[in-house]
Structure 1
Amino acid sequence: MTFEEEKKEEKNEKLLVGLCECYLLFYSRVPSSEFLSICVPCLLKAALKKEESEKAQKEVEIALLAFSNINEFVLLDKELYLNEVTEITKYHQEHHNLTHLAYQSAWGFLINRLDTDESLDGEILNELHFGRESARELEELTKCVNWKKEKEEDKKGKDTKEELIKLRWIETLEIYFLDFTMWKEGYIGLINSLVQLFRAAKDNHREIGNGCLDALRHALENRDVTIDDLFESGVVGFFLVEMKQSTLDDDMMWNCLDFFLNVSERLKEKTDGKTDETERKELKRKIFERKEEEGFEDVIASFYGFISFVDESFHYDLPSNILDYFVNV
């Protein structure tokens, strides 16, 4: 139907947009390049609407949501989408005409392209301010949900739209931390926003909380993120505090131990990203002092006789002497 409509001299643009949206939202496999050559320009044209009426916002939202469903492994020429997505993103940053879901969808599409086009790194960082914008969106979404009230009112456990958008942002950030190759100081705020979201969600939305932890671990594993970035963003202190909580479960304990194991290993290295030897020693001093402030050795001591009871799926790759290692490193 899409191909037939495209061939007509007088196309029904509304029908064409609807067909493209349905196809991408419901088709689980990789679309053909022939279809994408029609679909991408069609949806972007619909998403370039600048009206701020509720109806127009909904139309743009659905177009971008479908657009973001294009498989991340699909090879797309930047000329087919980059100028339009850049215009949509910049216009929103100035006029705030998109819904939260529409804006996340635009970013989700771009970040998914990193896996097949590393050259997007510079354009995303320098021109569209991904770190600043994603941190702001997470902060706004975190504030707009009364977490306890939402869960009390929703007896069936169905996620609210805001919670689903947060999950989409977290998935996008996980991909970004795994794939990006350029790091900027402003991303400290992005890491901090993940910490704040975890604190808000941990008692009421386990999936969001665990997603935040996974994204934070991916950030640590990326060598473009320095230990200093993590320290300044508050993540080190965050994990120290969480390890003392009486509600600490297997999943959280594994994340805490794995985090500090990685931090300790990286601080032993002579070079770590942009951190030189003098900075490395200063960081070790600051982290050691923070450990003392939080009673870190007491926390570690409390794990003796306990770690052997933790489900193997959570600590199969942790060394058996990890507790002694943390105290003595």
Structure 2
Amino acid sequence: MGNVLLLLKHIVHHKVLKNAWTRSFEKSLLCQRFEQMIIAESKKMDEKDEKLLVDLCECYLLLYNGVPSLDLILMCIPNLLKVALKKEESEETQKEVEMAFLALHNIGIGGLRQELYLNEIKEIIKYHQEHRNLSRLAYRCAWKFLIDRLFFDENLEEVIVNDLYFAREAAREIEELTRNVDWKREKEEESEEELALLRWIESLNFFFEMCKLQREEFSGLIGSVVQVFQATKEKCNGIHYHCVYLLETAAENKAIKVDAFVKGGAVDAVFQGIQRPTLNEKMAYESFVLFLKVSRRLKEEEDDEMEEAKRKVSKRKVTEKMEEEGYEDIITSFHEKFDILNRRYYHGLSLNISDYFISV
């Protein structure tokens, strides 16, 4: 059994690193066997094999697609948190902690009471911020576990944003990963660093969907996403598309001021991107949708915050700037493509696209 579990842990660790899926485990006899063993070991009052129980919980949660039963989750969480709380910096301990967090982050968005996990996760994240004892993967998994809980518990946002400084930490992690990626490599398969970036971007997308707090530091976080967007523009790979989808999510969220969005460099980066001769239709469409969402948000904020006379002056200045820099010609060149984009992707984009850029 020890060898079987060791082999499975290697498999599920590799699975997470490669963003792979395990098909149909939850319908298998192996899944039933794991559940029986976890329940039996958890119920033991004496001579409980804690290492065996942790190994079973890790393999079970990492092989499971979807959200397991709440009873099984409640049996697994205390055992995994006990491992995740280890603070020794040895390589062996770091691997144990990483596996525990990989299992925790795979639980998904199921509702859990704060008293089951919050104090432990806060302690782990704060300790890492002071001592940098976690692996990069473990740290990202700790954040994902916490962010996933927002779906059922919006009160966590105050802890995530104000107490644990999520925007600052996420921006730092993304920027470090961006610097470590060899963007010139020709291999089609994405590197571990690129996959790590993709996982952060996916978590950010969920966070921005749930976010209700307004904070100045969001512009820095958006700026770190813009760095990834620009670094991937030549490849135009999955990460590049995920970046523009994330920026669209941020643009829709009324808790994130357009000022923070613009200061982060998103508008300039995407506008520069649509001028590339190699731009494909899908990215062109997503770019225009992004401008549409930003311009709508800006219009809403102008109506709320600016007098009509001031808004007209601001619009005139932007129009003059566009004429000086030749943006009007670029906009006109897209008119012919817009009808095609509307038919293929979406029916809500106005042909009067110059309004998008004037508003922005």
- Normalised to the residue count of structure 2, the TM-score between the two structures is 0.82
Secondary structure of the equivalent of 1:108? Answer: helix
Give CA deviations for 1:261-290 in whole Å, capped at 9, x if unaligned: 222223333667xx6225983875775566
| Percent of aligned pairs sharing the same letter | 46
AA aligned to 1:316 is H
Is residue 88 from structure 1 mapped to residue 88 from structure 2 by the alignment? Answer: no
- Deviation (angstroms), 1:120: 0.5
CA distance in 2, matches of 1:12, 1:283: 69
* Greater gyration radius: 2
Return closer, same or farther for 1:271/1:300 CA change in 2, 3 Å cut-off.
closer
- Cα RMSD of the aligned pairs, angstroms, is 2.3
- Higher mean displacement: 185-194 or 157-166: 157-166
In structure 2, what is the equivalent of residue 122 of structure 1? 158
CA distance in 2, matches of 1:283, 1:87: 48
- Deviation (angstroms), 1:160: 2.0
| Long gaps (5+) in structure 1 | none
CA distance in 2, matches of 1:285, 1:233: 24
AA aligned to 1:198 is F
Secondary structure of the equivalent of 1:185? Answer: coil
Is residue 323 from structure 1 mapped to residue 353 from structure 2 by the alignment? Answer: yes
- Deviation (angstroms), 1:77: 0.2
Pick from 36, 47, 70 the counterpart of residue 33 of structure 1. 70
Return closer, same or farther for 1:145/1:267 CA change in 2, 3 Å cut-off.
closer
Return closer, same or farther for 1:250/1:6 CA change in 2, 3 Å cut-off.
same
CA distance in 2, matches of 1:290, 1:185: 27
- Normalised to the residue count of structure 1, the TM-score between the two structures is 0.90
Give CA deviations for 1:193-218 in whole Å, capped at 9, x if unaligned: 00001111232361000001100000
- Equivalent pair of 2:315/2:358 in contact (CA under 8 Å): no
Return closer, same or farther for 1:92/1:278 CA change in 2, 3 Å cut-off.
farther
Is residue 226 from structure 1 mapped to residue 257 from structure 2 by the alignment? Answer: yes
Is residue 237 from structure 1 mapped to residue 268 from structure 2 by the alignment? Answer: yes
Secondary structure of the equivalent of 2:55? Answer: helix
CA distance in 2, matches of 1:301, 1:119: 47
Pick from 296, 299, 314 the counterpart of residue 265 of structure 1. 296
Return closer, same or farther for 1:316/1:16 CA change in 2, 3 Å cut-off.
same
Pick from 24, 36, 54 the counterpart of residue 61 of structure 2. 24
In structure 1, what is the equivalent of residue 172 of structure 2? 136
| Long gaps (5+) in structure 2 | 1-36
CA distance in 2, matches of 1:260, 1:116: 31
- Equivalent pair of 1:48/1:88 in contact (CA under 8 Å): yes
- Equivalent pair of 2:53/2:79 in contact (CA under 8 Å): yes
Give CA deviations for 1:52-89 in whole Å, capped at 9, x if unaligned: 122211111111011001121x1100000001111111
Secondary structure of the equivalent of 1:322? Answer: coil
In structure 1, what is the equivalent of residue 23 of structure 2? none
CA distance in 1, matches of 2:317, 2:136: 38
In structure 2, what is the equivalent of residue 110 of structure 1? 146
CA distance in 2, matches of 1:120, 1:46: 23
Is residue 277 from structure 1 mapped to residue 339 from structure 2 by the alignment? Answer: no
Give CA deviations for 1:132-151 in whole Å, capped at 9, x if unaligned: 000000000001111222xx
- Equivalent pair of 1:20/1:39 in contact (CA under 8 Å): yes
- Deviation (angstroms), 1:98: 1.0
CA distance in 2, matches of 1:286, 1:53: 60
Secondary structure of the equivalent of 1:76? Answer: coil
CA distance in 2, matches of 1:287, 1:232: 16
Return closer, same or farther for 1:283/1:103 CA change in 2, 3 Å cut-off.
farther
Aligned residues: 320
AA aligned to 1:6 is S
